[in-house]
Structure 1
Amino acid sequence: MADTKREIERKYESDDSGLPDLTGVAGVANVVDKGTAELDATYHDTSDLRLASAKVTLRRRSGGTDAGWHLKLPVAPGVRDEIHAPLSDTLPGELAALTRSRVREGRLVPVVRLRTTRDIQHLVDAHGALLAEVSVDRVRADRLFGGEGRAQWTEIEVELADGGDPAFLDKVEKRLGKAGVRPSKSASKLARALAETKGGKPRPPKTGTAPPVTAGDHVMAYVRAQRDAIVELDPAVRLDTEEGVHDMRVATRRLRSTFRTFRKVLDRQVTDPVADELKWLAGELGVGRDQEVLAERLLSALADVPPALVHGPVHDRLHHWAEASARGSRARLLGVLDSARYLTLLDTLDALAADPPLLKAAAGDPAKVLAKAVRKDFDKVTDLIETAMAQPPGHDRDLGLHEARKKAKRTRYAAEAAGPALGKPARTTTKAMKSLQSMLGEHQDSVMARVTLRELSAVAHAAGESAFTYGLLYGREEQRAAAVEAGAPDAWENIKAEAPL
């Protein structure tokens, strides 16, 4: 069974003089010698180094206190999430799955072997609590695939204790700097090994690296960013991290919206089939997510009801309903991420990013082409809001406001894509559409909550339970929706005045 920890560390160049005296670092009461460890790690990657290109490392390491398989995923400079699995001869399935969005149908092979002699010291406070582990690593690297040769070097590594304040590393770095120790030029041992052994280091993709100039450049920069987000969020979704599913779903929506809005820039004959597959993926991601959000809303609303007005096992029924749905949707989603259809979609997005289906307008001035597309979406939002509010309260108005919300979301994403080209007007429009989306989202959540409350009420009644509390919650949801509807006209007038595009 794999477990995850947040690793915050810094690496420094070192000669043979060893570690400078760190007893002068603020907060350090003692430096404890923890002896020497012999580590033997084999790093695995595809033949074209897809993992290393993404600053992802996968290794099998023996020796030390944490022997096993380690997968490290980048979070920020100097910060990685490390997923650890027990030592075994073959790659554990859990870790293989977490690399799938990058490896896909490729094959993982040993690429580098690192043998490290590590002298370890612990920096502790006055109570003996660990602040950071500092090691002097003497490294020998052998290239196993994609090149040949060997390299060796010595480096200093400072890893923050679990739950420690990252600011402490600044204090250590200041002390090291005074002793003439400088930060390493390589982000990791693997990166240095690949660079210093014959065969070279991985290179990032060439597509999208030049600053955007034309309308097509700006649109494709946004498309590539969302493609990258889907790939990078895949492990987070598999690990069920907070907001992972939501963020991946947003990336799919941004792509679909971009294809629709900028149809004068990108050929729809190419993008429409891709958009259909993105819609499928978003739908699969939403099965559990929508239910989770709705469950949180209903349980929160129930918590606000005085105990005297809660009749029957309402809380238990809501919990069981939410848990049963979550279990089924989780298993289904993992199956989707392992499916050939999903991996084919990722390949298709890569192909589109590398060879975009640009139309004539793609070569145009972004200030004209992109602004025109965003204004067109904005005008559609206006029509939908006015049409919806002209309907009497009920199903037709609810449906109209839901359509307006979806169009507002599309306009927001279009303004985001145009932001680097249009500047402040696009940012103002993005902010305005986000505000409208939030307001109409509250209304739609109320609509869906009432549908669920009717269903749960019927089930409770059939079981001989009181439906009183469900009716009470239903009435409160009606009031919340009515408040949104009452404020919508004035809110929309303010938004139209704020959005200058």
Structure 2
Amino acid sequence: MEIEQKYDARADFVLPELGGLPGVASAAEPEAFSLHASYFDTADLRLAAHGITLRRRRGGTDAGWHLKMPAGPDGKEELRAPLGRPAAVPARLAALVAAYTRGEPLRPVATLETRRTVVRLYAGDGALVAEVADDLVTGRDIRQDPEADAPARRWREIEVELGTGTAELLKAAGKRLRKAGARRSKSSSKLGRLLGGAIEPPQAARARAARKARLVAAIDNGKGPATTGDAVMAYLAAQVEAVMRFDPKARLGEEDAVHRMRVAVRRIRSTLKAYRPVLAEERTEPLGPELRWLAAVLGEVRDLEVLRMRFQERLGGATPMWLEDLARQERAAYRRMNAALKEPRYFALLDELDRLIAEPPLGQAAERKARKELPGLVTRSWDRMARAYASIAIAEDAEVARHETRKAAKRARYAAELAIPVLGVAAKRVAKDAKRIQEVLGGYQDGVIAMEHLKAAAARARNTSEAFDLGVLYGWERCEAETAQAHLPVTWSQTLGPAF
């Protein structure tokens, strides 16, 4: 994780004394480096439009390929690869931005030559708390012809990058630089500064920002002029953004990333169903099967991941052979997921989700005031869940009825979550109640799935000791599933339902 701030400086700027900043005990002697970086992007600068930079840099202490992705106001997550060949983007890094490039080739778009002077700041215990880099930059836009001698742009900038230092240090360093004549840079990257107006936010990103701004303004003024369409599209935009944000993290297998990406996909799908009166079905209906497909791709990984972690916790860290088999299945599912996330089908779905946000297919109900329309739509989802719950007692197959109730609880929860910015506490309580029902049914379902897996593993047991352990775990899971099932009526009795 890279946390830094950039400042513009004139040619005659003098770097101020850096001692005495919070947490700084000493400043090392300046070190000079010559850096050469080639930046790669699509022809229409899709990565730069999302604040992402991909470069191959020679010189300095960290030569190689660097992929930087936004992670908060001053943060970027950086991933690296060895230098390799000059024009061949490492496959691993290319895959991590595939959700943005969507099949478009990555090519050189700019070069930067930097004369860098670095001052390292240390704490009393010798820890590196921050680096201050004074950069003289020469940049060239080579999009038209990478081989041509493109005109150069030159500027000077100061970077303050935290090591083990605190936000207080970052703030104090910035104050000292500004006092010496530097100004906070408007661009968070050198590439952004060089290409400037050529980098345009995607239409979907502009639409997301506009929807959110309208909704926030409507809520802040207290009069509630926000339309139902604004509320629905702001929520959908946030979920599409989450899919994009967790895509590279899921590919890397980061903790909880697949789960959170899958939840965002489910929220989109659920919203398209729960808010049918707001959105025209001729546009949203075709998205259903594609969202279901993506959720299933992610679900295969997530289900195996949950089982493995569940059993590991039960076993206290022991890893018998049957659990290693499960881990191998999980790794294979990850490989299948990564292959699916490179398919044209996935990129086509992302294109349609972008179009959904940029050109929303709003129906007649979308123009009605959100404060008047949302209560009825949330209540409708709740009533659907209530009918599903009531059917458990009379259904021929109670397992199916419980599964349908769990799905209805998720939809009621997400429908209420969407309404929270507009309806406040009342919607938050509905979402909380629906979540409780979902979690109780989820606990039961997790136990059932675990029992099925343990039963299959027992049929392949290598010896009696392994079979005995699997039997013990089966009994444990059955007990927990039955406890969750018994707790369902109690949890239902504690819910109040919508009261708008």
Q: Same fold (TM over 0.5)?
A: yes
Identical aligned residues as a percent = 41
User: Alignment partner of 2:193: what SS?
Assistant: helix
| Contact 1:11–1:157 (CA under 8 A) maintained in structure 2 | yes
In 2, the alpha carbon distance for the partners of 1:483 and 1:367 equals 40
Alpha-carbon deviations, 1:65-121, whole Å to 9, x = none? 222221101111111111111222121111111121111132333333222111111
Letter in 2 for 1:382: A
Q: Which residue of 2 aligns with 1:489?
A: 489
What is the TM-score of this pair, normalised by structure 1? 0.89
Which residue of the partner structure matches residue 102 of structure 2? 104
- Equivalent-residue separation in structure 2 for 1:369 and 1:40 (angstroms): 57
| Distance change (3 Å), C-alpha of 1:50 and 1:146 | farther
Equivalent in the alignment of 1:283: 296
Among 320, 324, 334, the alignment partner of 2:324 is 320
Paired residue for 1:3? none
1:290–1:444 CA distance, 2 compared to 1 (3 A): same
Aligned to 1:308: none
Counterparts in 2 of 1:326 and 1:485: CA distance versus 1, 3 Å: closer
Structural mapping, 1:23-422, within 5 Å? 23-87=19-83, 88-89=85-86, 90-145=88-143, 150-161=152-163, 163-195=164-196, 200-205=198-203, 206-208=206-208, 209-210=210-211, 211-212=214-215, 213-303=226-316, 315-389=319-393, 396-422=397-423
Taking the aligned partners of 2:3 and 2:117, their CA distance within structure 1 comes to 19
Amino acid at match of 2:260: D
The alpha-carbon deviation at position 293 of structure 1 amounts to 0.4
- Residue 450 of structure 1 deviates from its aligned partner by 1.5
Contact in 2 for aligned 1:44/1:109 (Cα 8 Å) = yes
- Distance, in Å, in 1 between the alignment partners of 2:200 and 2:359 is 21
Look up the SS of the partner of 2:185 in the other structure. coil
- Aligned mates of 1:55, 1:407 — CA distance in 2: 38
After TM superposition, give the deviation of residue 258 of structure 1 in Å. Answer: 0.8
The offset of 1:207, in angstroms, is 2.1
Q: Output the CA distance in 1 between the equivalents of 2:9 and 2:51.
A: 23
Q: Residue 74 of structure 2 aligns to which amino acid in structure 1?
A: G
Q: CA deviation at 1:299?
A: 2.6
Q: Distance in 2 between matches of 1:129 and 1:231?
A: 35
Matched AA of 2:311: L
Residue identity opposite 2:367 in structure 1: A
Displacement of 1:126 in angstroms is: 2.6
Secondary structure of 2:155's aligned partner:
strand
Offset of 1:466 from its aligned partner? 5.7
Q: Which amino acid aligns with 1:82?
A: E
Instruction: Give the 3-state SS of the residue equivalent to 1:218 in structure 2.
Output: helix
Does the aligned pair in 1 maintain the 2:308–2:327 contact within 8 Å?
no
> Do the aligned partners of 2:278 and 2:364 also contact (CA within 8 Å) in 1?
yes
8 A contact 1:253–1:278 mirrored in 2:
yes
1:34, 1:225 → 2: CA distance? 44
Q: Is the contact made by 1:137 and 1:156 (CA closer than 8 Å) also made in structure 2?
A: yes
Q: Structure 1 stretch 94-103 or stretch 163-172: which is displaced more?
A: 163-172
Which residue of the partner structure matches residue 310 of structure 1? Answer: none
The letter for the 1-side match of 2:97 is T
The alpha-carbon deviation at position 180 of structure 1 amounts to: 4.9
In the alignment, is the contact (CA less than 8 A) between 2:38 and 2:111 conserved in 1? Answer: yes
Amino acid at match of 1:57: T
Describe the shift of the 1:479–1:430 C-alpha distance in structure 2 as closer, same or farther (beyond 3 A). same
Aligned partner letter, 2:130 = A
String of CA shifts for 1:343-399, please: whole Å, max 9, x gaps: 1111222222232222222222223333222111101211222332567xxx94343
Q: Against the structure 1 CA distance between its residues 215 and 146, is the aligned structure 2 distance closer, same or farther, given a 3 Å change threshold?
A: farther
Tell me by how many angstroms 1:64 deviates.
1.3
**Cα contact 2:37–2:112 (8 A) shared by 1:** yes
Q: Is the contact made by 1:264 and 1:361 (CA closer than 8 Å) also made in structure 2?
A: yes
1:439-481 Cα shifts (integer Å, max 9, x gaps) = 2211111111111222222222x75556333333222223222
Partner residue in 1 for 2:473: 473
Partner Cα separation in structure 1 for residue 335 and residue 392 of structure 2: 38
Listed as ranges, the gaps of 5+ residues in structure 1 are: 1-5, 305-313
For the Cα contact (< 8 Å) 1:295–1:318, is it kept in 2? no
Amino acid at match of 2:384: K
What's the secondary structure of 2:184's corresponding residue? coil
| Structure-1 separation of matches of 2:326 and 2:184 | 49
The one-letter code sitting in structure 1 at the alignment partner of 2:195 is L
Instruction: Map Cα deviations across residues 22-76 of structure 1 (whole Å, 9 max, x no partner).
Output: 1121332221124211112222222322111111011122221222221101111
**Unaligned 5+ residue runs, structure 2?**
216-225
Name the residue aligned to 2:219.
none
Number of aligned pairs?
478
| TM-score between both structures, scaled by the size of structure 2 | 0.89
What do residues 373-426 of structure 1 show as CA deviations (whole Å, max 9, x unaligned)?
Answer: 2111101211222332567xxx94343222211111111111122222322222
SS at match of 2:116: strand
Report deviation, 1:178: 4.9
* Matches of 2:43 and 2:423, distance apart in 1: 41
In structure 2, the residue corresponding to 1:420 is in which secondary structure?
Answer: helix
Describe the shift of the 1:91–1:470 C-alpha distance in structure 2 as closer, same or farther (beyond 3 A): closer
Stretch deviating more after TM superposition (336-345 or 467-476): 467-476
**Residues 15 and 180 of structure 2 are in contact (CA less than 8 Å); yes or no, is this contact kept in structure 1?**
no
Superposition deviation, residue 174 in structure 1: 4.2
Task: Determine the C-alpha separation between the residues in 2 that align with 1:390 and 1:356.
Answer: 41
CA distance in 2, matches of 1:260, 1:146: 46
Residues 466 and 326 of structure 1: CA distance in aligned 2, closer, same or farther (over 3 Å): closer
* Cα distance between partner residues in 2 of 1:396 and 1:165: 58
Q: How far is 1:169 from its partner?
A: 2.3
Q: Equivalent residue of 1:126, what SS? A: coil
State the AA in 1 paired with 2:382.
Answer: F
- Alpha-carbon offset, residue 253 of structure 1: 0.3
Partner of 1:496, secondary structure, is coil
* Aligned residues of 1:428 and 1:500 also touching (Cα < 8 A): no
Q: CA deviation at 1:341?
A: 1.2
Deviation at 1:246, TM superposition (A): 0.8
CA shift, 1:177, in A, is 4.7
Contact 1:18–1:136 (8 Å) recurs in 2: no
The letter of the residue matching 1:320 is E
